[in-house]
Amino acid sequence: MIELKHLCKTYSAPDKEIHALEDINLTINDGEIFGIIGLSGAGKSTLVRCINLLEEPSSGQVLVDGKDITKLPRKELLLLRRSIGMIFQSFNLLEQRNVLKNVCFPLEIAGVDRKTAEKKARELLGVVGLADRADSYPSQLSGGQKQRVAIARALASDPKYILCDEATSALDPNTTRSILDLLRQINRDLGVTIIVITHEMKVIDQICDRVAVIDHSRIAEEGKVSEVFTSPQSQIARDLIIPRDRAALDTRNGRKIRLTFNDAYSREPVISNMVLECQAPVNILFADTKEFEGVIYGHMIIELPADPKQADKILVWLKNSPVEWREEV
């Protein structure tokens, strides 16, 4: 279990202080895939680096399995880092080493003998589906293959945790999917707890169990992915689910309503019923459905009719309906 308690990180610039993280409190349970989402500059990369102390927090605690690692002597910190694997957006493979030697790297650091290390590395290359590329060099691999090598490398020291810093942001959608599937599989089969940093909602809804939304150096909200998706409490979460520029595609003055459908209503023709019963037209600006653990959730943004009477009719209908909705501002 990883617990962050009152974590703050402040950088001092010549003329002012920059607060990268402010009072972050999070608990990441063993065996889960925990997502941290935010826009760039929100502080998420700093946050993930505080977990293995690549960044030293200015104040607060980082508890890994109950032990405050900010107080560890350097030697013990280096040992601890071996139990926390990390993968990166730019893969960060050693360019002058072949794939096998890259996967051996953490084992070399740990002082494992060459034979044992290579045997282990070959097994792991099998796990990530690259057994036949052991002798290739990183420059000969595609982005997805490089990330697979990086995942094998992260697994080499039998970590309990893996940190993913924008691990799929440099990959195309299909490759992203396959890398996320691989992470899911590793989480399930090896019981590794995975912490995913991303700016993409699709990464969160594809593999995460729980998510924390970070905005302006603070946690804006936190919860099960399905809950955050269906009833986002913060403006930033809503923006991440439906990017504001898309919601605002229509610049006309019409009032906009965001509807959230949970499983029970996502299969019903709610909008059709509403239009038929109110005898008023609505304009659908955006619609999306997602599936979490077999349950379908949907988001829709509609524009109310310009005629206030008709608009009121619809609002009254919505108030009496079980559908979750709120007016967009």
Partner 1 sequence: MLSEMFLKLWHAGLIQKGIWETIYMTVISTAISYVIGLPLGVILTITDKGGIHPIPWLNRVLGVIVNFFRSIPFIILMVAMLPVAKFVVGTSLGNKAMIVMLVIAAAPYIARMVESSVKEVDAGVIEAAQAMGASNFQIIRKVLLPEAKPSLILGAVISMVTILGYSAMASTIGGTGLGQIAISYGHQRFNPDITWICVFLTVLIVQIIQEVGTAIAHRTDKRAKQ
Closest approach, Cβ 105 to partner 1, in A, equals 7
Nearer to partner 1, 105 or 317 (CB): 105
Nearer to partner 1, 121 or 219 (CB): 121
Q: Provide the residue type at 129 as one letter.
A: G
Nearer to partner 1, 106 or 305 (CB): 106
Closest approach, Cβ 54 to partner 1, in A, equals 6
Binding site for partner 1 (CB under 8 A): 52, 54, 77-82, 84-86, 88, 90, 92-98, 105-106, 108-110, 137-140, 150, 153, 157, 163
Nearer to partner 1, 179 or 220 (CB): 179
Q: How far is CA 143 from CA 129, 163, 174, 183, 251, in A?
A: 14, 18, 12, 16, 39
Q: Would you call 203 helix, strand, or coil by DSSP?
A: helix
- The residues, ordered by sequence, that sit 6+ positions from 22 with a Cβ below 8 Å of its Cβ are 8, 217, 218
Nearer to partner 1, 110 or 271 (CB): 110
Nearer to partner 1, 133 or 210 (CB): 133
Question: In the beta sheet, which residues pair with residue 300?
Answer: 259, 287
Closest approach, Cβ 111 to partner 1, in A, equals 10
Task: Decide: 52 and 32 in contact? Cβ < 8 Å.
Answer: no
Helix axes 99-109, 114-127, angle to 10 degrees: 130
Closest approach, Cβ 107 to partner 1, in A, equals 10
Residue listed under structure tokens 């962050």: 4
Rounded to whole angstroms, the Cα distance separating 183 from 204 reads 12
Closest approach, Cβ 81 to partner 1, in A, equals 4
Closest approach, Cβ 80 to partner 1, in A, equals 7
Nearer to partner 1, 47 or 228 (CB): 47
- Please, what is the end-to-end C-alpha distance for the chain in angstroms? 39
Nearer to partner 1, 42 or 156 (CB): 156
- The residues, ordered by sequence, that sit 6+ positions from 126 with a Cβ below 8 Å of its Cβ are none
Closest approach, Cβ 155 to partner 1, in A, equals 12
Counting every residue written for the chain, the total comes to 329
* CA nearest to 32, candidates 207, 294, 177: 207
Rounded to whole angstroms, the Cα distance separating 57 from 50 reads 6
Closest approach, Cβ 195 to partner 1, in A, equals 13
Q: How far is CA 190 from CA 32, 73, 98, 127, 155, in A?
A: 12, 29, 25, 11, 10
